[in-house]
Structure 1
Amino acid sequence: MPTLVSLRAFEAVARHKSFRKAADEICVTHAAVSHQIKALEKSIGVQLLERTSRSVELTPAGEQYYPPIREHIRGIIKATQRLQAPEEPDVLLVQSYASFNTMWLQPRLADFLQDNPNTRVRIISTFEDGDYDMHRFDVGVFNAPPFDKRFDYSPLFETDIYPVCAPEALSSSSTGLSLEELKNFLLLSVPSTWNEPDDWDRWLDAAGLSRESMKFGSIFDNYPLVREAVLNNHGISVARAPFCARDLERGRLIKPFDLSVPEPGQWYLATPKERARNPKHETFVDWLFEQIEADPTMRFFRG
């Protein structure tokens, strides 16, 4: 296990792309930061940074290592801040994945806040199943099976997945692709975290295509990141129907195949069992149910 000191030094250098700025931020010398980076690389046996006389760049391994290290360093900082600062009892805390929050909840939230001007909402994003900030949310929305006895779970919705691409990926005279043409594109993905077949495995199997005949490109931490890569025509990815609906409506993304398959698992509403009754919580949950029930890309379960 690398030391926290070396991981903190790596996170600062990777973020600033500078040993000097990293040293200034964490209040040590340039030499001390360099020593910690070398110790980290020796400890894990992988080069993380490319150093020149004028710049610092992440290696491919560093690019892969940096995002989760950044998130966990930030998590430690936030946890410490919570001990040092009082809670905000009047703020409703809503936690879900970055994909759900960014690509579905946020575009709708303004309407809720306009209708409920006395309710303040804080949105908390997580990137992994079960990475719950259990002391810091009133409402959680997760695509994970009920596994934690500290929470009450209610089935919320199911949805479908299918490939999407940028309009530039298609010829000007085409509105779609043949299955055979898919072999000419890089397939971008987000890894599965629940020992399930990943999105591409599930869709390719339904399409009768072999994974071995495809060209796979980059693997991304989360769906907002892979969405940006697809929008920039760097490849094709599998998307969840609710999270790409607006991009499809606006023509920013194209659905090149008619075939859709059910997403692995279903989504749940999670609430801490040790929670006092809160009318604002109930108002938000009722609004959330209405929004999901009205969304044609979701199959809603009413409790």
Structure 2
Amino acid sequence: MHNWQRNLPPLSGLLPFEAAARHESFTLAADELGLTQAAISKQIRTLEHDLGMKLFERRNRSVFLTEAGRRYGRVVGDALNNISQEAAFLRNSQATDEVVLFCQLCEAFYWLMPRLSKFHEQHPEVELRIKSSVSPIVDADQPFDVALQTTGRPHGSYALAFTASDEIFPVCRSGYLGSATLPLKTAELADHVLLSHNVLPQDWLDWDSWFAEAGVTLNRRLRTRDFDSYPLVLQAAVSGQGIALGWRRTVGQMLDDGVLIRPCRERVMHPTGISVFRGRRASGNRAQTEALLTWLRSELAD
């Protein structure tokens, strides 16, 4: 028996623990796994007994992760996610000549699609399939060869191929500000409704962080309107509901077309704002994958 086998906890308790840690709720974990709350509680008590420490504090019919529980939850979650990904890759590893590009939905729609004809002209031999998603690549439900997403979002153990710069600045519909004198001072943005991509975990730059990076200190609470996906934030801006944060590579065409405008001059530069990763698709065509990576590097160099 290997030493690591001796140190393993009861494996039957890892799924219930991961779900309970992620939700910080035995009830929601039970609903997700199709078990009773009592069964979840029993499995976690067994796990705590094996580890010799509390993973949750139980107070007033609620549970809260201890520091040890939070740390262990991250480890278990990453491990189970890696196992799940590898299983999906093995199930979908049938031979194919296509190259799969996993891309954030907004970048796929607003940045990639207008450029894709150039790629096909340069590489007619490559059968490219686009997989778009609002989720990070760690949640990909299918194997891919290359992935593009905002730097800072979870990427698991995928290998980084390269990064590219991006810049973030406020955008809004041209008529939204009425007769206001443009450009606005940066602090004046706080007078308006700010459209927010509010998610947990907050792996996306939002207004508080943007003002901080821009060096602007505000002495009042921001008026935000929250959305759970960035495409919705952009659509709300286009329909005149407020001011959004725009990533240059995503909103560039809308600025050129006059659909959106920049109400102020301030911008935040992210020299490594976009990350491109290599996937682990077993049947991927290496030469065609390299052709896609080379093309993406060239297109993202501007």
> What range is the shorter-chain TM-score in?
0.5 to 0.7
Per the TM alignment, residue 3 of structure 1 is displaced from its structure 2 partner at its CA by: 4.0
Question: Do residues 152 (structure 1) and 159 (structure 2) align?
Answer: yes
Aligned pairs for 1:25-40 (under 5 A) are none
Query: Contact 1:96 / 1:125 at 8 angstroms: preserved in 2?
Result: yes
Query: Contact 2:99 / 2:145 at 8 angstroms: preserved in 1?
Result: yes
1:14-34 CA-partner distances (Å, limit 9, x unpaired) = xxxxxxxxxxxxxxxxxxxxx
Per the TM alignment, residue 252 of structure 1 is displaced from its structure 2 partner at its CA by: 0.8
Aligned match of 2:108 = 101
Aligned match of 2:265 = 258
Higher-Rg structure is: 2
Question: Do residues 283 (structure 1) and 291 (structure 2) align?
Answer: yes
- Measured on the aligned residues, the alpha-carbon RMSD in Å equals 3.4
Query: Contact 1:129 / 1:193 at 8 angstroms: preserved in 2?
Result: no
Question: Do residues 116 (structure 1) and 120 (structure 2) align?
Answer: no
User: What is the one-letter code of the residue matched to 1:229?
Assistant: A
1:128-159 CA-partner distances (Å, limit 9, x unpaired) = 3343427520001133458633x221332121
1:22-65 CA-partner distances (Å, limit 9, x unpaired) = xxxxxxxxxxxxxxxxxxxxxxxxxxxxxxxxxxxxxxxxxxxx
- Structure 2: distance between partners of 1:174 and 1:261: 22
Distance 1:154 1:117, change over 3 A: closer
Aligned match of 1:213 = 221
1:230-278 CA-partner distances (Å, limit 9, x unpaired) = 0000011111111111111111111011111134963222113575652
Query: Contact 1:152 / 1:273 at 8 angstroms: preserved in 2?
Result: no
Q: 2:175 aligns with which of 158, 168, 172?
A: 168
Query: Contact 2:106 / 2:230 at 8 angstroms: preserved in 1?
Result: yes
User: What is the one-letter code of the residue matched to 1:208?
Assistant: V
Aligned match of 1:240 = 247
Query: Contact 1:97 / 1:126 at 8 angstroms: preserved in 2?
Result: yes
Aligned match of 1:230 = 237
1:199-256 CA-partner distances (Å, limit 9, x unpaired) = 2112222252427332111x22222221111000001111111111111111111101
Per the TM alignment, residue 164 of structure 1 is displaced from its structure 2 partner at its CA by: 0.5
Question: Do residues 138 (structure 1) and 151 (structure 2) align?
Answer: no
1:50-88 CA-partner distances (Å, limit 9, x unpaired) = xxxxxxxxxxxxxxxxxxxxxxxxxxxxx99x96x8856
Query: Contact 2:138 / 2:156 at 8 angstroms: preserved in 1?
Result: no
Identify unmatched segments of 5+ residues in structure 2.
1-27, 35-86
Distance 1:285 1:155, change over 3 A: closer
Aligned residue-pair number: 220
Query: Contact 1:153 / 1:269 at 8 angstroms: preserved in 2?
Result: yes
Aligned sequence identity (%): 24
Query: Contact 2:198 / 2:227 at 8 angstroms: preserved in 1?
Result: yes
- Structure 2: distance between partners of 1:193 and 1:210: 24
Question: Do residues 188 (structure 1) and 195 (structure 2) align?
Answer: yes
Query: Contact 1:129 / 1:144 at 8 angstroms: preserved in 2?
Result: no
Question: Do residues 249 (structure 1) and 220 (structure 2) align?
Answer: no
- Structure 2: distance between partners of 1:268 and 1:197: 13
- Structure 2: distance between partners of 1:94 and 1:157: 17
Distance 1:197 1:211, change over 3 A: farther
Identify unmatched segments of 5+ residues in structure 1.
7-78, 296-303
1:83-129 CA-partner distances (Å, limit 9, x unpaired) = 6x885612110002112212211211122123323322111123233
Per the TM alignment, residue 196 of structure 1 is displaced from its structure 2 partner at its CA by: 6.2
Residue 233 of structure 1 aligns to a residue whose secondary structure is coil
Residue 103 of structure 1 aligns to a residue whose secondary structure is helix
